[in-house]
Amino acid sequence: MLVPQPDQWQRLTEQLTNWRCNPDQLDEERTVTPSWDTIQLALDLATWMSKRGLPAPTRIVPDADGGIVFERQEKNAFESIRISAGGGIEQRFFEGYRLVYSVSFSPPLQLDAQGLMWPICGQ
């Protein structure tokens, strides 16, 4: 049974909102700062996951290529959800050092009522 984690999701949402309002704080040498659209997609995904009671990431980090990564560590399991600068999403799940599964979605995406992500056709 999934247990909602409102405090953790609230912290994540506040962090992403802060990044969106003050993107200069993410400027680092030799990296691309996530765009407003990338940060908004991360916020949309966080809201979608939270409303479904999914576990909150342990941390979120910008990547060097203008994307954002949600990371969750739990005992011997590690999950990452990478939102690329181009709007694609890739989820990977590891047990120990072994990749259990990896799935990618290419933009444009939508989150539907059943909680599934599907590419938007015809765009």
The predicted model scores a pTM of 0.79
Write down the pLDDT at residue 32: 86
DSSP element (H, E) containing 100: strand 98-105
Q: What is the pLDDT along the chain (123 residues), one digit of tens a residue?
A: 344 456 888 999 899 988 888 877 777 777 788 998 899 899 988 988 888 888 899 999 999 899 999 999 988 999 999 999 988 999 999 998 899 999 888 765 665 555 545 443 333
Q: Which two tokens stand for residue 72?
A: 């969750």
**Alpha-carbon span 65 to 105, nearest angstrom:** 18
On the CB side of 14, CA atoms within 13 Å amount to 6
Tell me if residue 65 falls in helix, strand or coil: strand
CA 48 to chain centre: 11
User: Tokens 């072994």 correspond to what residue?
Assistant: 98
Kind and range of the H or E element at 21? helix 6-21
